[in-house]
Structure 1
């Protein structure tokens, strides 16, 4: 199994970044580097991440002065030294065998770009229902109009460079735009895996409101193209602490 460069974008995630670093330190597949790209957090996010240097020897923490989801992912990809890329959000949770299983599937299916379904283990029934509907949508659209969850996307440096990375003008659905563009040249599929996803987004916005937001966004994308003027007034890092 080949090496992986893991790019983690952060913004004021001091309460969650440690959990992800802990999960990464327990991976059965050990050949990877971790690049934390921080959007100039106002809390101790960078300090918490840096504390894991002993358990994650190939860990670097990069501070950006300008904030941005796509900018952070693109910055991390530029710093990456391995061909295989994995983009993660700071509030993701991973099982110890996640990397090993993912790489095995990527190699078996010969995929350069792939998405991962959201897991709802130990979450309330309403969250399981919401995640289930969202995953169903991800499964169906992968064949005709690919979408993805930016919190966990696999790619490669070759693909990323040819796509010119994530579109930094898009605020909402930049992840969907990325895999849609990639699918025009490379086969895109979802892996038979899940990742843990912090429920704070559903807790704050509500299952139906959040689902309606993304449904509206993707319907709009389908008929009118990508949203480069923040038409739906979506803000990076707007979620409050739960």
Structure 2
């Protein structure tokens, strides 16, 4: 069984983190370690993480890529999993990851993200995000699509072998968004990327804030422009942080 480290970047995630950590406590088999990497929270995020008994790291620079790289540097597992603080995973997550990465041809994997709220499930947005994993690389990088490229995003709970993550340079810390897609473009040089046919549940807070139609339009707009080479720094203005 592979030793799995779970890295969770946080910034003011008190409303979501407790539930996510409670779900991690019942994983069977359990992960080797859970590392919460905080970027300067001003709410109860750190207290919640400490009460859960996980490793709590404070990063002196804010940024999801920076925080995830910091966690990956201190992780000791064979595999590193990047989990958003507002995303819940099935209790057999570690076994799933072990089975997927038992195939040496697979370098990275992720799950199907189902966006949910307190009283609703965002079926339409979730379906589009599922399809985007396939159609985006087919449209913009067809030569890589047939080599095994799938474009995974953060709420899909990306996982890969820690050694290969660093061989590819880790996340690009200069990117304010799309750092996950950028990593996929480099990882596919080492093997296939697989979307696992299992669901994780992510908060719909961004969709709830924007509305389903606006959210889908923004996801599509940002994805297309990134696909044709528009700078992530420019695209960040359309993708506000929502807590």
Partner Cα distance (2:7, 2:31) in 1: 14
> How do 1:83-232 residues align onto structure 2 when only pairs under 5 Å count?
83-108=78-103, 110-120=105-115, 124=120, 127-141=122-136, 144=145, 146-151=150-155, 152-224=157-229, 227-232=231-236
Count, aligned residues: 232
* Cα pair 1:39 1:63 within 8 Å, conserved: yes
Gaps in structure 2 of 5+ consecutive residues: 139-144
| Cross-structure match for 2:242 | 239
Partner Cα distance (1:29, 1:108) in 2: 19
Cα displacement string for residues 190-242 of structure 1 (whole angstroms, at most 9, x for unaligned residues) = 112111101111101222222222222221222225x2434441567x214xx
Partner Cα distance (1:109, 1:197) in 2: 29
Partner Cα distance (2:104, 2:182) in 1: 22
What TM-score comes out, normalization by structure 1 length?
Answer: 0.88
Cα displacement string for residues 6-55 of structure 1 (whole angstroms, at most 9, x for unaligned residues) = 000100011211111100000011242001000110011011011011xx
Distance 1:85 1:173, change over 3 A: same
Gaps in structure 1 of 5+ consecutive residues: 54-58
Higher helix share: 2
> Secondary structure in 2 aligned to 1:112?
strand
| Cross-structure match for 1:51 | 51
Q: What is the root-mean-square deviation of aligned Cα atoms in Å? A: 2.1
Partner Cα distance (1:72, 1:177) in 2: 16
What TM-score comes out, normalization by structure 2 length?
Answer: 0.87
Distance 1:136 1:110, change over 3 A: same
| Cross-structure match for 1:3 | 3
Distance 1:218 1:96, change over 3 A: same
* Cα pair 2:150 2:195 within 8 Å, conserved: no
> How do 1:72-83 residues align onto structure 2 when only pairs under 5 Å count?
72-83=67-78
* Cα pair 1:8 1:88 within 8 Å, conserved: yes
Partner Cα distance (1:230, 1:65) in 2: 25
